[in-house]
Amino acid sequence: MTANFLIGLREGLEATLIVVLLMAYLTKSGRRALLPRLWAGVGIAVAVSVGFGALLTFGPRGLTFEAQEAIGGGLSIVAVGLVTWMVFWMARTARTLGSELRSRVDGVADGAAWGLVLVAALAVGREGLETALFLWAAAQASGESGTPLSGALLGLAVAAGLGYLLHRGVLKVNLSRFFTWTGVALVVIAGGVLAYGVHDLQEAGILPGLHSLAFDVSAAVPPSSWYGTLLKGTLNFSPATTWLEATAWVLYAVPVMFCYLRANFRRRLRPAAETPAATAAIAS
């Protein structure tokens, strides 16, 4: 029961965190109207995953292991690209937020419509197929024993609940900090997703170096423990990390974070007159 719960929790967090942060961003920047696009992306991903999962479990054809890993890893890497693009899009639109260019900003948001749907679909979809396969297996097993499916579903529910709490909590943060921190959080999470994608491709034999470990702290942070689960679920932290994963993480997170923070500091240095206007726009 506990173990299945932890699987649901971890996969749920992996899938929802990016969506939750983007949701908070849209709410906070007064673009709630775009929320349905995010949900559409989530819906598509869930439907496709569950459908494919059922097909692969009960249908006549299965997916090879390489294909599963390549899809998971490939989607992860594409998701990182899109999330990065979103983060900078956010930084950019936040800058013009509440200014007289409002109409133009909405134009920008329209342009990002596809992007929002895709980011949501990829963030959920990259973990979706694996989770759906697990859930179908659990559903089959629950015919015998009952508990595995409920444990996994409970884990997913708790992940959703944690996501909701985070969403609420983030909404309370002061506006200028909010923009910085969601962006920072997204960059860190995206770095983890990238590393995870690299690991998947290493397992599939598409990338080399699966056995050259940069560090292995699985004795201190067992993957099956609750804290291991949380670290994996939120940051995609793997206790046994290969050199290639670690390198990918650093090569991604460091320059992107630098560019992102620089973009933010420039925004902060702009005339202070923009900030009250921005707050007013949110309050409205």
Q: Is 140 in the site for other proteins (CB under 8 A)?
A: yes
Q: Is 133 in the site for other proteins (CB under 8 A)?
A: yes
Selected from 12, 151, 183, 233, the binder of other proteins by CB under 8 A is 151
Q: Shortest gap between Cβ of 191 and other proteins (angstroms)? A: 16
Segment 68-127, which members bind other proteins (CB under 8 A)?
70-71, 74-75, 78, 81-82, 85, 88-89, 91-92, 95, 104, 107-108, 110-115, 117-118, 122
Q: Is 14 in the site for other proteins (CB under 8 A)?
A: no
Nearer to other proteins, 218 or 275 (CB): 218
- The CA distance from 167 to 32, in Å, is 13
CA distances from 278 to 87, 153, 228 (A): 19, 40, 39
- Whether the Cβ atoms of residue 28 and residue 175 lie closer than 8 Å to each other: yes
Q: Is 206 in the site for other proteins (CB under 8 A)?
A: no
Q: Is 222 in the site for other proteins (CB under 8 A)?
A: yes
What lies within 8 Å, CB to CB, of 166 at 6+ separation is 17, 20, 21, 24
Nearer to other proteins, 166 or 202 (CB): 202
Q: Dihedral of CA 15/21/24/29: which sign?
A: negative
For residue 148, which of 130, 162, 136 has the smallest C-alpha distance? 136
Q: Is 1 in the site for other proteins (CB under 8 A)?
A: yes
Q: Shortest gap between Cβ of 54 and other proteins (angstroms)? A: 12
Q: Is 268 in the site for other proteins (CB under 8 A)?
A: no
Instruction: Specify the amino acid at residue 272.
Output: A
Chain CA centroid to CA 164, Å = 14
For residue 189, which of 108, 260, 117 has the smallest C-alpha distance? 260
Q: Shortest gap between Cβ of 221 and other proteins (angstroms)? A: 10
Q: Is 9 in the site for other proteins (CB under 8 A)?
A: no
Q: Shortest gap between Cβ of 264 and other proteins (angstroms)? A: 10
The alpha-carbon radius of gyration of the chain (Å, integer) is: 20
Q: Is 134 in the site for other proteins (CB under 8 A)?
A: yes
CA distances from 183 to 138, 176, 188, 214 (A): 36, 11, 9, 27
Q: Is 244 in the site for other proteins (CB under 8 A)?
A: no
Nearer to other proteins, 11 or 245 (CB): 11
214: phi then psi, degrees, rounded to nearest 5: -75, -40
Q: Is 65 in the site for other proteins (CB under 8 A)?
A: yes
Secondary structure of 208-270 in HEC code, one letter for each residue: CCCCCEEEECCCCCCCCCHHHHHHHHHHCCCCEEEHHHHHHHHHHHHHHHHHHHHHHHHHHCC
Q: Is 160 in the site for other proteins (CB under 8 A)?
A: no
Q: Name the site residues for other proteins (rule: CB under 8 A).
A: 1, 3-4, 6-7, 11, 56-57, 59-67, 70-71, 74-75, 78, 81-82, 85, 88-89, 91-92, 95, 104, 107-108, 110-115, 117-118, 122, 130, 133-134, 137-138, 140-141, 144-145, 147-148, 151-152, 203-205, 210-211, 218-219, 222-224, 239-240, 259, 263, 266
